[in-house]
Amino acid sequence: MREFEKRILSELEEAGQENFPTLLNTIVTPTGNASERNEFQTALTNLLQNGFIKIGLERDANRRLKNMSDEDSFALLTRITEHLVFKTQSGHWTGGARPWPEVVYTEMGKVEGRKILQEFGYQWWRQKD
């Protein structure tokens, strides 16, 4: 499993779900370099393919997030530039088109996230920066 994937799962283990920009800003020290968004896209694609996450975009009448199909999620990930924009003046990634997509861990993702936290600790990458 790649570093970005581990970071995402460890953060989701804490929150359960998180929107794209908040999650990306948490797992990197944002610089606006396109590689941040590209690595995030690759990590989400891999996690989705392996059953660790789902992606939600809309909410039901009770305001619960509805998971998209994997097919729709993969299609959304190919358009990630519509959903992540870097704001130079504030120095962070923000959402583009509303609603902002949310990443939700599956039961498998939750278990893996716990293992990662036990092995590496909370936000271990911050000590590297």
Residue 13 in tokens: 């283990």
CA angle 9, 31, 39 (to 5 degrees): 40
**pLDDT for the residue numbered 107:** 96
State the 10-residue block means of pLDDT for the chain, 129 residues long.
97 92 97 97 98 92 88 96 95 92 96 97 84
By the 8 A CB rule, do 55 and 68 touch? yes
**pLDDT for the residue numbered 128:** 63
Indicate the pTM of the whole model.
0.94
